[in-house]
Amino acid sequence: MHSWSQALTLSSASAWGEAFTGLHGASRISVPDRDAPWTGRLEWRQSKAYGLALCSGGEEVVKRDTRHIRADPRGAYELLVPLAGTAWVEQGPSGTEIRPGTMVLCDIDRPMTFAHDADFLSIAFIMSGQDVAARSPIAASGARLLTGAHGLGRIIRQLATTLQEEREQLSGTTFDIACDRLLDLVCLAAEGCNDEAPTGQRATVEAAVRRHIRQHACDRDLDIAGVARALGWSARYVQQVLQAAGTTSRDLIRRERLNVARTRLIGASWASHSIAEIAHSCGFGSHASFATAFRREFGMTPREARGRSTAGKD
């Protein structure tokens, strides 16, 4: 899969402008003094589907208007993730200040103004507008301010930062897979998932949670925090999805462990293991709690389940 990485240190405003517009699209860039010394840095990774760039430079105002968009359409969205300093983003009727702890999702093919101070440092995650719209019409509906300080927003910020730091070590395929996950999370956050689970995404998330629990049911430390961390969502969000489905992570984990235990009780490969050993291997803390849960779930004791299996082979 075609993918490439590059890093540039730029010593003039004109060189910076050329590199910046090549990455973000044709724009008019204004700086206080074009002849003054300039220190700018661009580090980016590009594939056919995604771009990820770390940008720092002097004070500037970037305007991308209808004329620029007609001349250089990109069909892309950008998530701006500030790491230091302050910037102002204006698109359509709304404008917002962003700094570390906030992020903004913008459509590059809508007129916008972007201004920042001299110490501004940010990561830009560039993604296809078609991919955004396919995942979430809400995310594609216009500029959206997202929190990056907690919950899902914090996970997005951490993933974007890690991807930027590790960009040269990732294969093209791995880079795109990671960006796919980042895009999924951005769309979830744009739909308000830091506050509540959107209806349109619940079935997909619930299925992923159930699948992960099924695959890791016998991990002794499996809990909602671990499930959420492995799948890239917040524990609160996973909890909301499961509550909407009428269940909890504890119920799902217990049920999957009981299913595994029943399979082992009647399986020939576990015939030499005691019931207590099987209970322990499936993540249960005690034989007694396992026996109680097993009888409640299947209407028989573990010993009866094993006995019926043995009787059926006679």
Lowest mean pLDDT among 66-70, 156-160, 214-218, 241-245: 241-245
Q: Which residues of 28-54 are buried (b: 16+ CB within 10 A; e: fewer)?
A: ebebeeeeeebebebbbbbbebbbbbb
Whether residue 219 is found in the same domain as residue 246: yes
| pTM, entire model | 0.61
Neighbours of 277 (CB within 10 A): 13
Q: pLDDT confidence of 195, banded at 50, 70, 90?
A: very low
Whole-angstrom Cα distance, residue 276 to residue 287?
A: 5
Residue 69 sits in a domain whose CATH number is 2.60.120.280
Whether residue 113 is found in the same domain as residue 204: no
* pLDDT value at residue 222: 92
Whether residue 135 is found in the same domain as residue 248: no
Whether residue 122 is found in the same domain as residue 228: no
Into how many domains does the chain fold? 2
CB 72, CB 26: distance < 8 Å: yes
* pLDDT exceeds cutoff 70 at 200: no
Residue 252 sits in a domain whose CATH number is 1.10.10.60
At 154-194, the pLDDT tens digits run: 899 999 999 999 988 999 999 999 999 999 999 888 877 54
Amino acid at 47: S
Last residue of a domain, one of 157, 172, 190: 190
Report the alpha-carbon angle 129-131-135, nearest 5: 115
Q: Which domain holds residue 12?
A: 3-190
**Mean pLDDT for the stretch of residues 131-136:** 88
Last residue of a domain, one of 190, 212, 243: 190
Whether residue 179 is found in the same domain as residue 235: no
* pLDDT value at residue 232: 66
Q: What percent of the chain has pLDDT above 90?
A: 53
* pLDDT exceeds cutoff 80 at 1: no
* pLDDT exceeds cutoff 60 at 293: yes
Whether residue 22 is found in the same domain as residue 135: yes
